[in-house]
C-alpha cells in the first residue's frame, strides 16, 4: 500500500531520532480569525512524511476545544471520536486511566481544568540546541499577539535525547514499537530489534483499513461545507460504521495524539528498591536493587529483556525485541507477570492459545513518540528537588481501543494475567501506598509490599493530529 | 450444589417511574446495607440488579435480576426476611401489584412468583461454588499468602515439600479453617453426567429426525439468507448521551467487575423468533454440558449471564456480570465467540450484516460495538457479593483449597505452590 506521504504529518512515520532536541508548545486560541490566518501561512512549514528535514521538524495538533474555537461547527465536531470530544479529564476517564488522588486532573498544571485547557500543540524538533532556540523564537514570534491569535505558550522542553534513550529511572526505553504498513520502517525495525509487528495503516491513520478490515472511524464534513473541495470524498465503497459515503473526509491521513506529562520521582523509586533489597542489618545490596528494578520493568538497564537475560544483564541484548512469553517464560519466573513491559504489551501471554492471544494483543498497540524531560539525577538515591519525567506521547486511530485499553485493561488492572490485587509497579494507579508487586519464582513467589506512586501526572490532553489537507481546510474556515 | 438464575419482570406505573428511580438510587448508593433491599444480608445471593427500562412501545419495565444458590423458595424466604418492606415499596410502583402491606407474605410471594421469568439460556462461571464457599476460600487464600510472605523470608529457603508441610500445619492448627476438609466437589458425578446425557440424546434425536426437519430447515435457511441480505443494519455511531450515562456507572469496583443490561427488539416475523429460540436453546444445552470450567466459548470472565426472550418473543433481554472493562468484554465477544453471539443477536434489529446466521455480524467490530451500546440500558442498582474477585481468581482459590491438605507428589507440590 502506498501512503499519501505529502498529506501525512511526519511524526506519524518517524520519531525524529536524528533530531535529538525538542520542545512542545501548548497554546490557547485568543483570536480565531488571526489563528486561522496563522495556520494558513504556516501550513507549508509543517513537516510531512515525504521529506526528512536534516535540521528541524515541526508538527501541529488540536484539542476538541481548539477545533471548536477555530470555528468547526457542532455537527462536524460530533463526528470525532467520543473520548476526543470528552477529553482526558472526565470522572470516568480518571477512573480508567488511574488519575485519582494526587494524579487527579484538578492537580494538573495543564489540561485538567477549565482555566488551563489547551487548544493547540506545536511539536518542535531540532538537530541541536541552537537550532531549537532559533525555531522556538521563530514560532513564538509567529504565534504571539494580534498577528498570531494565540496567548502566551506554555513551553515544555524535552531533554536532549542521549544515545540508547534511557528514561529517568535508568532503563533503556523505546525498544518495542509496532510498525505501520506502508512506512517502510519494517526492515529498519527488524535490523535494530530483530522483531517487527507490522500493522495495517488504519491502526494509526484515520480513514484507512484497520485490523478489523474496516475503515477506521473518521470525522467528516458535508460537501456543501467544503465548497473549495479541499478534502477528499469518502468513497461509495466505504461500508464501515464511521464511513459516510459522499461526505468529505476530515480525518483521513490524520490521527489521534495522546499527551501525558509524567513526572518521575527517581530518588523515591531507587530508595524504595534499596530498602526492599537491603540485608537484615540494613546494608544496601546494589546488585539485588538493580535486579528488583529490572523485575519491575521487565528489562534490565541496558534494555536486555529479562526473558532472555534472567540471571544478569547482557548489554549485547540492548535492543533485543525478538521474544515471546509462552514458550520461554509462561510462569513469569524471568519476567514477572506484572512487570511493566509485560503489562503494556502482553504479546502471546494472555489466554490458552498463544497465536490468538497475540492477535488480540495487537489490536491494542500504540506508536510511542514520547521524550524525557528534566535533568538526569546524578545519584539516583539522592533527590535534588528538581522535576524530571517523561512527556508521554502516543499515536492511535482509536483512543478507546488502543491507548485507554492498554491503560485500563493491562496497566491498571489489579487482576491482570491471573494476578489478584496489584497494578503496574511503574506507572499504575498505586494510590494508597500499600500496593503489592509479585515476583514469581520457584518454589515460592516473593511479594514486595508498600509500593506508592513513583510517577505523577502533571498534565495531559487528547489531540487530533490532522492531515496537511485538513490543516488547509481548518485555515479556511 | 446448584444455582438459580432468574429475573422478576414487572410493568411500572408510568406516574410512579420517578419515585421508583429514586428508590433504586437509594439502593445503589449503598447496595450492601441500604434500608430498602440490603443485599449483603442475603446469604445465598451472588449478583443482583435492578434495571428500570423505558421504551416508547412498551412503557416502563422493572427487571430485578437474581443469581443465587439453591432453589427459589429458600431464596425468597431469605429475601422476605431482610427486605419485605423494601420489596413492598419497590413493587408498589408497579402495575397489578395489589398487596397492601409488606406483612402479607403470601400475596407478596404470589406476586413475585407470577412475575418470574426464567432465562432461555444462561451461563455460570464458577460452577457449583456457593457464595459462602467463595468467600471462605478467599479468606483461606489471603491467610496462606500472608503465611507465604513469612516463609519466603526463611533462610535457608525451604524445599517444596517443606513449604507444603508448613502450609498444611498452618491450616490444620487454626480452628477457623476446620471447614477446609469438609467441602464437597464442584459438581457431583450426576450433575456432571446428566447434561452430557441430555446433550448426546438431543444430537441423536436430531439425527433420527433428519428426514422430517431437513427440507423445512433448508427452506428456512434460504429465506433467512434472503432476509439477512436485506435487513437494515446500524448506520450511526452509538447515541452519545446513553454512552455517557452508561460509562458514568462503569469501572467502579476494585477489580473492575461490571454489569451489562441489554434489551433488543427481535426482528419481525415468526422465522426470526423461532431461530432465536432455537439458537438460545442450543446454547443452553451446550453451556450446561461444556461451559462448566469457567469459560463460555473461550470467554474467561463471565460470572453470571443470561438471555430471556420477553414480551411474547418480541424483545430479548440479556444480563451479564463480568470481569474487566466493557471494551475488553466486547473484544472477547468478537475475538472468541463471534459465531455464537452473531447467531443470537442477528435476530434483533440493527445488527451488522451476517451470512448464514453464524458468519459476518459481530466481526464488524465498531458497528457491533455501536449496536451493543445503543441496546444497553442503564443498570439502576447492582450488587456483587465479591467485588474484588474474578472468575479465574475464584477458580484458583478453589484449587488451592482442594489440594492444600492432600498428600501431593513432587510435581503436584510444585504446581500447587505456583497457585500462590
Q: Which of residues 370-389 of B touch A (CB under 8 A)?
A: 370, 388
* Alpha helix ranges (H) inside A43-89: 64-70, 74-77, 82-86
What is the ipTM metric for this complex? Answer: 0.90
- The cell numbers describing A134, all together, are 532559533
Query: pLDDT tens-digit profile of B158-173?
Result: 999 999 999 999 999 9
From CA A227, how far away is CA A219, in angstroms rounded? 17
Q: Which of residues 49-108 of B touch A (CB under 8 A)?
A: none
Scanning the structure block, which residue is given the C-alpha cell 503496574?
A424
**Do the beta carbons of residue B335 and residue B320 sit within 8 Å?**
no
B270 CA: distance to closest CA in chain A (Å): 29
- The cell numbers describing A132, all together, are 531549537
Q: Which residue of A has its CA nearest to B412?
A: A443
Scanning the structure block, which residue is given the C-alpha cell 521529506?
A51
Query: pLDDT tens-digit profile of A9-43?
Result: 999 999 999 999 999 999 999 999 999 999 999 99
Looking at residue A241, what is its pLDDT? 73
Looking at residue B197, what is its pLDDT? 93
Q: B331 vs A363: CB contact, 8 Å cut-off? A: yes
Candidates B158, B235, B390; nearest CB to A415: B390
Q: A445 vs B237: CB contact, 8 Å cut-off? A: no
Q: What is the average pLDDT across A168-193?
A: 92
Q: What is the average pLDDT across B250-259?
A: 84
Q: B255 vs A440: CB contact, 8 Å cut-off? A: no
Over pLDDT 90: what percentage of chain A?
A: 84
Q: Which residue of A has its CA nearest to B370?
A: A241
CATH 3.30.70.100 describes domain B3-118 = yes
Every domain of chain B and the residues it spans? 3-118, 131-185+390-417, 189-384
Which positions in chain A have a beta carbon within 8 angstroms of at least one beta carbon in chain B? 78-79, 82, 85, 91-92, 95-96, 212, 214, 217, 240-242, 331, 351-352, 356, 359-360, 363, 398, 400-401, 404-405, 408-409, 413-415, 418, 420-421, 440, 442-447, 449
**Do the beta carbons of residue B331 and residue A360 sit within 8 Å?**
yes
The residue among A241, A431, A438 with the most chain B CBs within 10 A of its CB, best to mutate, is A241
Q: What is the average pLDDT across B127-156?
A: 94
What values do phi and psi take at A257, rounded to 5?
-115, 125
Mean residue pLDDT of chain A comes to 93
Looking at residue A250, what is its pLDDT? 96
Residue A168 has pLDDT above 80, yes or no: yes
Q: Which of residues 322-351 of B touch A (CB under 8 A)?
A: 323-325, 327-328, 331, 335-336
**Do the beta carbons of residue A398 and residue A406 sit within 8 Å?**
no
Q: A359 vs B149: CB contact, 8 Å cut-off? A: no
A453 CA: distance to closest CA in chain B (Å): 18
**Cα dihedral across residues A170, A172, A174, A176: positive or negative:** negative
B149 touches chain A (CB under 8 A): yes
Q: A241 vs B323: CB contact, 8 Å cut-off? A: no
Q: What is the average pLDDT across A443-451?
A: 94
Q: B251 vs A446: CB contact, 8 Å cut-off? A: no
| Enclosing H/E stretch for A459 | strand A455-465
- Cis peptide before B17, with omega less than 30 degrees from 0? no
Candidates A79, A96, A443; nearest CB to B325: A96
**Do the beta carbons of residue A422 and residue A436 sit within 8 Å?**
yes
Query: pLDDT tens-digit profile of B289-300?
Result: 988 888 888 888
Burial of A352 (0-12, 13-18, 19+ CB in 10 A): exposed
Lowest mean pLDDT among A192-196, A210-214, B27-31, B354-358: A210-214
Residue A135 has pLDDT above 90, yes or no: yes
Looking at residue A239, what is its pLDDT? 67
Residue B355 has pLDDT above 70, yes or no: yes
Q: Pick the residue with more confidence: A1 or A90?
A: A90
Residue B364 has pLDDT above 70, yes or no: yes
A42 CA: distance to closest CA in chain B (Å): 34
Q: Which residue of A has its CA nearest to B367?
A: A241
B195 touches chain A (CB under 8 A): no
From CA B152, how far away is CA B145, in angstroms rounded? 10
Scanning the structure block, which residue is given the C-alpha cell 501525558?
A260
Residues of A in contact with B298 (CB under 8 A): 351-352
Amino acid at each position: 500500500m502506498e501512503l499519501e506521504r505529502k498529506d501525512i504529518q511526519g511524526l506519524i512515520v518517524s520519531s525524529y531520532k536524528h533530531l535529538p532536541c525538542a520542545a512542545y508548545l501548548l497554546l490557547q486560541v485568543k483570536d480565531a480569525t488571526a489563528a486561522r490566518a496563522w495556520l494558513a501561512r504556516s501550513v507549508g512549514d509543517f513537516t510531512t512524511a515525504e521529506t526528512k528535514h536534516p535540521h528541524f521538524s515541526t508538527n501541529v495538533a488540536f484539542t476538541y476545544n481548539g477545533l471548536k474555537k477555530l470555528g468547526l461547527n457542532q455537527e462536524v465536531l460530533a463526528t470525532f471520536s467520543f473520548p476526543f470530544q470528552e477529553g482526558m479529564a472526565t470522572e470516568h476517564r480518571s477512573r480508567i486511566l488511574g488519575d485519582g488522588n494526587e494524579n487527579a486532573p484538578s492537580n494538573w498544571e495543564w489540561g485538567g481544568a477549565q482555566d488551563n485547557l489547551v487548544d493547540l500543540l506545536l511539536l518542535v524538533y531540532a538537530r541541536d540546541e541552537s537550532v531549537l532556540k532559533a525555531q522556538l523564537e521563530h514560532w513564538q514570534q509567529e504565534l504571539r499577539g494580534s498577528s498570531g491569535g494565540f496567548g502566551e505558550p506554555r513551553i515544555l522542553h524535552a531533554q536532549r535525547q542521549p544515545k540508547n534513550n534511557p528514561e529517568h529511572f535508568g532503563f533503556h526505553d523505546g525498544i518495542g514499537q509496532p510498525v505501520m504498513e506502508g512506512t517502510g520502517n519494517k526492515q529498519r525495525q527488524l535490523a535494530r530489534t530483530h522483531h517487527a509487528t507490522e500493522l495495517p495503516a488504519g491502526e494509526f491513520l484515520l480513514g484507512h483499513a484497520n485490523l478489523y478490515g474496516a475503515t477506521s472511524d473518521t470525522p467528516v464534513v458535508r460537501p456543501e461545507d467544503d465548497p473549495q473541495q479541499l478534502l477528499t470524498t469518502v468513497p461509495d465503497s466505504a461500508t464501515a460504521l464511521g464511513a459516510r459515503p459522499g461526505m468529505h473526509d476530515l480525518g483521513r491521513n490524520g490521527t489521534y495524539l495522546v499527551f501525558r506529562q509524567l513526572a518521575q520521582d527517581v530518588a523515591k523509586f531507587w530508595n524504595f528498591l534499596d530498602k526492599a533489597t537491603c540485608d537484615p542489618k540494613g546494608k544496601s545490596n546494589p546488585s539485588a536493587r538493580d535486579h528488583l528494578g529490572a523485575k519491575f520493568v521487565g528489562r534490565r538497564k541496558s534494555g536486555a529483556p529479562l526473558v532472555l537475560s534472567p540471571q544478569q544483564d547482557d548489554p549485547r541484548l540492548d535492543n533485543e525485541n525478538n521474544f515471546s512469553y509462552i514458550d520461554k517464560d509462561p510462569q513469569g519466573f524471568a519476567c514477572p507477570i506484572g512487570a511493566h513491559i509485560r503489562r503494556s504489551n502482553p504479546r502471546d501471554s494472555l489466554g490458552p492459545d498463544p497465536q490468538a492471544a497475540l492477535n488480540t494483543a495487537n489490536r491494542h498497540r500504540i506508536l510511542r513518540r514520547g521524550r524525557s524531560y528534566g535533568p538526569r539525577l546524578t545519584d539516583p538515591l539522592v533527590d535534588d528537588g528538581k522535576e524530571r519525567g517523561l512527556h508521554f506521547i502516543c499515536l492511535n486511530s482509536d483512543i478507546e481501543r488502543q491507548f485507554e485499553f492498554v491503560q485500563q485493561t493491562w496497566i491498571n488492572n489489579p487482576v491482570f494475567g491471573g494476578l489478584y490485587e496489584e497494578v503496574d509497579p511503574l506507572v499504575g494507579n498505586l494510590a494508597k501506598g500499600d500496593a503489592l508487586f509479585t515476583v514469581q519464582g520457584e518454589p515460592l513467589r516473593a511479594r514486595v509490599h508498600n509500593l506508592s506512586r513513583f510517577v505523577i501526572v502533571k498534565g495531559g490532553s487528547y489531540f487530533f493530529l490532522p492531515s496537511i489537507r485538513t490543516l488547509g481546510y481548518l485555515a479556511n474556515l | 450444589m446448584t444455582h438459580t438464575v432468574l429475573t422478576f419482570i414487572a410493568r411500572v406505573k408510568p406516574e410512579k417511574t420517578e419515585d421508583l428511580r429514586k428508590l433504586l438510587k437509594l439502593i445503589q448508593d449503598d447496595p450492601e446495607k441500604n434500608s430498602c433491599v440490603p443485599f449483603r444480608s442475603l446469604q445465598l445471593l451472588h449478583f443482583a440488579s435492578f434495571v428500570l427500562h423505558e421504551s416508547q412501545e412498551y412503557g416502563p419495565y422493572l427487571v430485578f435480576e437474581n443469581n443465587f444458590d439453591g432453589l427459589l423458595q429458600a431464596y425468597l424466604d431469605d429475601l422476605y426476611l431482610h427486605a419485605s418492606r423494601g420489596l413492598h415499596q419497590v413493587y408498589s410502583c408497579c402495575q397489578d401489584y395489589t398487596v397492601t402491606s409488606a406483612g402479607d407474605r403470601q400475596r407478596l410471594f404470589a406476586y413475585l412468583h407470577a412475575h418470574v421469568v426464567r432465562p432461555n439460556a444462561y451461563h455460570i462461571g464458577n460452577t457449583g461454588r456457593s457464595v459462602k464457599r467463595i468467600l471462605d476460600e478467599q479468606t483461606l487464600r489471603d491467610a496462606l499468602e500472608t503465611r507465604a510472605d513469612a516463609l519466603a523470608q526463611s533462610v535457608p529457603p525451604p524445599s517444596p515439600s517443606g513449604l507444603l508441610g508448613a502450609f498444611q500445619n498452618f491450616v490444620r492448627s487454626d480452628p477457623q479453617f476446620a471447614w477446609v476438609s469438609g467441602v464437597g466437589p464442584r459438581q457431583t458425578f450426576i450433575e456432571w453426567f446428566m447434561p452430557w446425557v441430555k446433550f448426546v440424546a438431543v444430537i441423536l434425536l436430531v439425527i433420527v429426525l433428519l428426514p422430517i426437519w431437513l427440507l423445512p430447515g433448508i427452506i428456512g435457511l434460504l429465506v433467512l439468507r434472503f432476509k439477512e441480505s436485506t435487513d437494515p443494519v446500524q448506520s450511526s455511531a452509538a447515541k452519545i448521551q446513553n454512552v455517557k450515562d452508561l460509562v458514568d456507572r462503569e469501572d467502579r469496583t476494585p477489580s473492575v467487575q461490571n454489569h451489562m443490561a441489554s434489551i433488543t427488539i427481535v426482528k419481525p416475523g415468526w422465522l426470526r423468533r423461532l431461530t432465536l429460540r432455537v439458537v438460545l436453546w442450543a446454547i443452553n444445552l451446550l453451556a450446561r454440558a461444556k461451559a462448566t470450567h469457567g469459560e463460555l466459548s473461550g470467554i474467561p470472565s463471565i460470572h453470571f449471564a443470561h438471555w430471556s426472550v420477553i414480551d411474547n418473543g418480541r424483545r430479548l433481554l440479556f444480563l451479564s456480570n463480568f470481569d474487566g472493562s466493557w471494551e475488553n468484554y466486547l473484544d472477547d465477544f468478537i475475538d472468541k465467540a463471534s459465531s455464537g453471539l452473531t447467531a443470537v443477536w442477528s435476530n434483533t434489529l440493527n445488527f451488522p450484516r451476517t451470512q448464514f446466521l453464524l458468519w459476518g455480524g459481530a466481526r464488524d467490530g465498531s458497528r457491533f460495538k455501536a449496536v451493543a451500546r445503543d441496546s444497553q440500558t442503564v443498570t439502576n442498582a447492582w450488587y456483587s457479593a465479591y467485588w474484588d474477585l474474578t472468575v479465574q481468581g475464584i477458580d484458583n482459590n478453589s484449587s488451592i483449597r482442594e489440594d492444600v491438605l492432600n498428600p501431593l507428589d513432587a510435581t503436584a507440590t510444585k504446581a500447587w505452590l505456583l497457585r500462590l
